[in-house]
Structure formats: C-alpha cells, structure tokens
Amino acid sequence: MRPHFFSRFMLSLCFLTVSSSVLSQDANQYLRFTVMAMAPDLETRAVFEDELVRVLREDDYDVVASYTLVPEISPAVSLEVRQALIEAGIQAALVLRPLATGNDASITAAQEALSQQTYTSLAAFINDYRGHNFESQAIVHVLGFLLDPQQSRLFWQGVIWLDDTVETQEQAIEKLVELVQFNLNQSRTVLRHQLGLPPLIIMQEE
C-alpha cells in the first residue's frame, strides 16, 4: 500500500468552506464526531465503525461509532438522524459510502460522486502513477458533515481506494481504516483552522 499517494489526492479534494463562526468558540479543544459506515448490514457496519473509532481514539480524536447511537442511517443526514446525533452531543459526522466493491470494481465509480472537474483531476492523478489502471477492490467516498438541526454542512470530502489485493472482508476493512486515519491526520491541522478550533497542544513525555 502507498499511503502518501492517497494523502496527496485526499487533500486535493478537501472542500473547506465552513466559516469559523459555525462552531461556538469555547474551551473545547476537540470536535466530537461520529463515524458512519454505509455498510450493507449492521454487523459489517459495526465492525468497520468500531475499528475506525479504535484507531482514531489512539490519535486523540473525540469520536464514537454511529451504530451505538442510531441503528438506522439511511439517508445518513436525514432530519431524524441529525436530531438524534445532536441530542447525543455529536457535532459532526464522518460518512463512508462505498461506491464499488469486489474484483470487478473500478475507480471510475467515483465519477458519480464527484464533480466533473474533480473527477478529471482524479483520473489524471491515477494516470500519473498507475498508468491508467483504474482497477481496485474497494472505492469509498468519504464525507465530513457539520451537523445542524436545519441542514448539515459538507466541510470535507475525498475518495479512497485499495491498491492492495485483499482476501477477506476483515483485511479490506483494516486497510480502508488505515487510509481514512492517514488522510484525516494529514488534513487535521488545516481542518481545525478552518473550523475555528485552536491548534492541538502536543504534550511531550518526560
């Protein structure tokens, strides 16, 4: 797996359009958010969300698995879902929506989720390092929403895909989780600035 490639592309897809005034200015250092895996069944969703929550908490994210709060998430940003999450103290949602999976999957599936201009950039990026090879075993659209009772606001999005061949669903989840973690960490400083959050204070161990 080549995580730096994914980082370059994910960062190029960040739509940082949220004013700092969207979030209240208080002493909270962390944005409390949930991860929402749009899996075909609750068991797969729970496994994916639990693993992603586990690794993100290791990096000091204030994150919870959405299945523990809202068992039904279709559509993911419906009024009922938003209200339930907000009432649970959740400020944002990181939604992972599979675009294509399996041996016949292609990164061209991202065309349906992205603007033509953005997809053109994606295709050019792939051509640069994969020689027009669009094959993959999983393509996932990642979207970050700020939750609001009236309307959720998109503040981050990108596409991740598997370069590696995987034999099991567990392996696929593990590698996709690694990609989400890596790209989110790479974007973290910029996102915090755009969202009006203070810089992270890194505590040095003695």
> pTM of the prediction?
0.81
The Cα-based distances of 15 to 65, 71, 114, 116 in angstroms read 24, 28, 12, 15
pLDDT tens per residue, range 20-72: 334 444 444 688 999 999 998 999 999 999 999 999 999 989 999 999 999 88
Q: Are 53 and 64 within 8 A, CB to CB?
A: yes
pLDDT above 50 (res 97): yes
3-state DSSP call for residue 186? helix
State residue 38's pLDDT score.
92
